[in-house]
Each structure stands twice: as C-alpha cells, then as structure tokens.
Amino acid sequence: MLRSTRNHKLRNEAEMKSEYWRQDAQSMLAAKLAALDALKANSAKNVIMFLGDGMSIHTVTATRNLLGDSPEKVYFEKFPYTGLSKTYCVNRQVADSACTATAYLGGVKANYGTIGINAQVKRYSCEDHTEHRVDSIAKWAQDAGKSAGFVTSARVTHASPAGVYAHIADRNWENDMEVAAGGCDPEQTLDIARQLVEWPTGQQLKVILGGGRQNFLNSTVRDETGYAGNRQDGRNLIKQWLSDRQSENVTAKYVWSRKGLTELNLEHTDYLLGLFASDHLPYDGDRHRSTKHSAQADPSLTELTEAAIRVLQRNDKGYFLFVEGARIDMAHHSNYAQRSLEDTAEFARAVQQAREMTSEEDTLIVVTSDHSHVMTINGYPHRDESITGVIDYLADDQLPWSILSYANGPGYAGTYKKSEGRVRLTDTDAAYPLYVHPAMVPLNADTHGGDDVAVFASGPFAQHFSGNYEQTNIPAMMARAAGIGPYN
C-alpha cells in the first residue's frame, strides 16, 4: 500500500466546504447561459487561430497545476466551447506538424512530412504538385479582402507556420541547400523561404513574426547577431522582401530585435517582417533565466501577438491571424517538462492578450494543438506537490518517482543504470528547470502521441467547435463563421 511520509497543506481551504463547489457550478451555469445569448451573433469579422504545438491535454492539465491549480486556470480553459479533434495523417496513425498543418489550415488530410498538398503526393517528390495543392484559410481570407498574418516562436519556415502559405513535399526543405540535399533542383522545387517571399499567399501576408533568419541569407552572409545563413544561391530574401514592398509603394518594416519592434509605429505599418533569431526563438522560461536570452532582448509570444493584431486590425474588412506556440513541442521532444509547461503558460497569456484586444462579438478565437506528446501525469501526488517534482511515495523498488514522465525519449539515460536499475530521484533534481524527466524507452527525442487534442473556442459561432471531429473540420468551421472560402 502506498503511504505518504510528508505533511501536506491544502492549496485552497475553501474547497473543503460544499458551498465552494456549488458556487463554482453556479458560475459555470451563468457562463453557459451567457454563451447561449451569443449564439445570435453576426459572422466573425476576424479569426485568430492559436496552435500550441504538441500541447496535449496532459500538457494543459500540468500547466494548470504549475500555475497554482484552483483557483488559477489556464486562460483559454475559460472559453465557453470545447471539443476534440482527430490528428492522424493519411498514412500515419501518429501525426507530425506538417500533415496536421495542412489539415487544420487547409481542411485536407495529407501524408506525414508534407505541407500544403494532398495525400496523392508522396513525401520527397520533386515533381510539380500544382494540381494537388491545398490552399489555407489565410488565402481564403486574402481572397475575401481580409488581411492575413502569422506569429510563431519557431523559424517562420518551420512546418506549422509553413502551412499558412507553402506547398511542398518535404517539411525540411526550408532553404535551397536542403532541397538540393533531397535530390531536387532548387530552381524547380522552390524552398519554403522562397515560397514565403515569392509566391502570392506569402507575398500578401501583412505580418510575419518569428525566427529563422538563417533560411533567408546566403552562407557567406552573417545576420545582425553574427550567425551565417544557410542558403547557397546567393539570395538575400530579407532584402528581396523589402524591395518588393517598396515597389508596391506600401509601408513595410523589417525588425530583428525586441527593441526594434517596440520602436515601430505599428499604426502606420502596412507590412511587418520580424525575424528575431537565426534559428528558433528561445524558450520562454529561458528568456527570464538566461543573460544571453533575456526577457529584455527577446520578444515574448504575447508581445508578438499584440504587434500582429495592431497591424492587422487596420483593415476594416477584418483579418485572419495564426499564432503558434512552437517551443511547447520542442521541449517535450527533449523531455524538458518544465520548459514545455512554461511555454504553455506563455501561450495562454498570448491568448488572453488577443481576447482582451478584441471583441467576442466580432472576433472568433480558436485554440488547439496539432498533435499530442507522450508525457503523462503519474498518481497519486498531493495537491501541494510541485507538478514537475518527485512524488511523495515509494514504488515497488523502494524508490521515489517523478510526477511527470515520458513513454520514450532521452530521459531514459538518466532513469536507468544497467547494473543498478532505476536511479534514485530527489526533489533537488526535479527542481532544476532543465531537468530531463524520466522516460521508459531510449530515444534521442520523444515521439508525438496519437491521442485526440482539445479545441477551445470563443466568439461568433464558437458553438460549432463542440464535439469530436476530424482536424480537417476546423478550418471549415472557422471559414463558415467568417463567411470566407469554399465553406461560405
């Protein structure tokens, strides 16, 4: 029998009384009734889609605990409507961020590793795929006269944001060097960065904010912080983007630092390109812990979201905005549970910022994930124990274990020793922000999970997002709410 050896305090003593839970239920009922009144809303002028990459339901639950559990909650959990979406690819039960981007942005299931094309195209194909291209909801918005843009904490050419504008048979073809390494002609198979700058949907995006300068610069050129580019074709796609906007006689700004962003007059900016890192943006927790990647030096996802809305809201016809919290996924891949939860908390703050800057009467906000991860929450921790810590019980091997653990990943190396079995964990180990949480199967990176992910919605026609449905239904419901695209 499991026995606790510690004295534990309640996080919220009010929970001991029945009236606490009855009042909570009354508040919930009042919110549901208010949501019913909103069903008569007009169509959505604006649509904002938030994508927590790899944000499984377990991740949301653990983040809620990290933020203090009751009464603190992850902001978007307050949204009136919640559903579940099915995340598989056409050819894989467990999806990646490429095929899912085609699903939740374009409404079509695709093959693993491909972006913006249907499943008739196999991965790594160099052939012309024009007839099999899948347009995203960003293009549907542009065709309707609305503005469109995206924000990401990854490279702007990474799989999820590429789903907004790109059509390619391999998610790794972010620059011409990678296309050539894949056995294709870079002048015939345009890389993702070139598609962003040269193809119509990318050209018309009013806001592009994220990382990835390396894919826009030649290897002989160094960016503002001294990192060399990856390109081999001599192109400087940043200068090309600025030149194209200049020829259109519009106000276009390129920024590479948080300081540069804060100094912009966004109310007089027509087009905004912000590339704030050579590669991905830093983890949010690292922004505050590290002197190299300080909160003062790097913009947060919340700040980028605010900037994007301020530019896009200048269009009286409305806009579509895609916001990705990408580092949630990357931390999970390394079994960095605390980093992942910290980025989820920042993601939730960005959602809150967007909701507070907009009206529920004319702006639909949808929050979801592309796929899950294999992190789980182990029983039976007390409420006052840190969700990222060690559980206050001993297992059958008379050793404590971590509340959060992974089915696979690099954490295996620190979990087992061949001759001694499982390694003894301590609270001190788990308190380290970069602690690699235990894993059962050794892999250099943890895998995605195949379970359904949650969908949260607020605003016009948010009720459509209830139930359990294919991930491909998400853009259809967003488009119908906004009166755009093939589902109008």
The annotated binding site for Mg(2+) is made up of 53, 158, 160, 324
Instruction: With H, G, I as helix, E, B as strand and everything else as coil, classify residue 3.
Output: coil
String of DSSP letters for 203-261: HT-SEEEEE-GGGTSBTT-B-TTS-B--BSS---HHHHHHHHHHHTT--EEEE-SHHHH
Task: Could you list the residues known to form a binding site, using ranges.
Answer: 53, 158, 160, 324, 329, 333, 370-371, 448
Contact 168/114 with Cβ under 8 angstroms? Answer: yes
Residue 429: exposed, middle, or buried by beta-carbon count in 10 A (0-12, 13-18, 19+)?
Answer: middle
Residue 5: exposed, middle, or buried by beta-carbon count in 10 A (0-12, 13-18, 19+)?
Answer: exposed
**How far is CA 363 from each of CA 101, 207, 457, rounded to the nearest angstrom?**
22, 18, 11
Catalytic residue list: 97
**Listed residue (397, 377, 374) closest to 388, CA to CA:** 377
Q: How many CB atoms sit inside 10 A of residue 82's CB?
A: 16
Task: Could you list the residues known to form a binding site for Zn(2+), using ranges.
Answer: 53, 329, 333, 370-371, 448
Give the DSSP letter of residue 94: S
Tokens of 23: 């009042």
Amino acid identity at 241: W
The answer for residues whose C-beta is within 8 angstroms of residue 30's C-beta and 6 or more apart is: none
Rounded CA separation 448/370 (Å): 10
Rounded CA separation 451/349 (Å): 25
